[in-house]
Amino acid sequence: MQILVTGGLGFIGSHTVVALAEQGFTPIIVDNLSNSEFFIKERIEQIIGKAVKFYETDCNDLQAMEKIFQENALQGIIHFAAYKAVGESVAEPLKYYENNLFSLINLLKLMQKYAVQKLVFSSSCTVYGQAEKLPVDESTPTLPAFSPYGNTKQIGEEILQDVVRSNADLQIISLRYFNPIGAHPSALIGELPRGVPNNLVPYITQTAIGKRSILNVFGNDYPTPDGTCIRDFIHVCDLAEAHVKALEFLQQQNGSFIDFINIGTGKGNSVLEVIKTFEQVSGKKLPYQFVPRRSGDVTAIYADVSKAEKVLGWKAKRTLADALADAWRWEQTIRTYQ
């Protein structure tokens, strides 16, 4: 099966391409390289032992995307291509609405035109806002988003529901995932932020290796046991495998179908717990300082993942320590890329 992976050279996309190939699928990568690096394609090929077809294309370019649909017998799509930095989305909302929503609309148009029925959509726990009850399950109400990024995911899910209600012959799973971290155990691919990282773990590893002088912890006055935010941190390889499971599940569905599934570990860890765990696995003492809260951050969120296990037969296997050890190994192997 040929599976189009948009944003396939990004952090989650690259690991999912590897997982797809390992399960016998033929991934085809689309990436505009706006937030990824071309050398990751060679690293993917090194891991899976075969060449991968690649298009340097923007999903917002409908004409270019149509050419890809014409040239390949696509049987499914995993859609990652989106901007994802919460803080940046607050500063530049139109950039996020234009990119994240138009790219999805273009894909849905082409899927209907070329009878490609299976879609796994990259969604996010941000659709829940600051949930009143933890852990959150899929029936938890989606509250007003804390950021334009989160709102693009809410609107994206609403678009998908409306298209399925229109009797479009599409089968869709929206994976609402929590906080992906870690790297492939080979240390050939991993998270590769440009400039100052927006995510906690690459900021930790860059501080540990000396690229950053000090780690900023955004807020220590949250109503949590240690005053820092709590998140559900999931190993990116577990997350990648969940996408493959979702695709396999969709192969068994016919007619109009949509479902929403949380992908996390089911456990919350605070920012300070992540720092302490990293210090244990790396043997490095991290310099850090508390700075004011960051706009768009919720206090705490972690997943009820029972639906993923029941519906997809999937559950996270790797620990927080595993993920941080892999992320540290990756950081130590990265050559100059900025």
How far is the C-alpha of 39 from the C-alpha of 192, rounded, in Å? Answer: 11
Q: Tell me how far apart the alpha carbons of residues 147 and 126 are, in angstroms, rounded to a whole number.
A: 8
SS3 of residue 118 by DSSP: strand
Judge whether 134 and 300 are in contact, CB under 8 Å.
Answer: yes
Are residues 302 and 178 in contact, defined by beta-carbon separation less than 8 angstroms?
A: yes
Residue 149 annotated as catalytic: yes
Tell me the C-alpha distance between 173 and 157, whole Å.
10
- 124 Cβ contact partners less than 8 Å away, ≥ 6 residues apart: 84, 149, 150, 153, 176, 177
Tell me the H-state helices in 175-300. 200-209, 236-250, 271-282
Catalytic residue among 83, 96, 128, 149: 149
Task: Work out the number of other CB atoms within 10 angstroms of the CB of residue 195.
Answer: 6
Q: Which long-range contacts (CB under 8 A, 24 or more apart) does 59-68 make?
A: 59/6, 59/30, 59/32, 59/102, 59/103, 59/106, 59/107, 60/98, 60/99, 60/102, 60/103, 60/106, 62/106, 62/109, 62/110, 65/30, 65/106, 65/107, 65/110, 66/110, 66/113, 68/4, 68/28, 68/30
Q: Which residues are catalytic?
A: 149
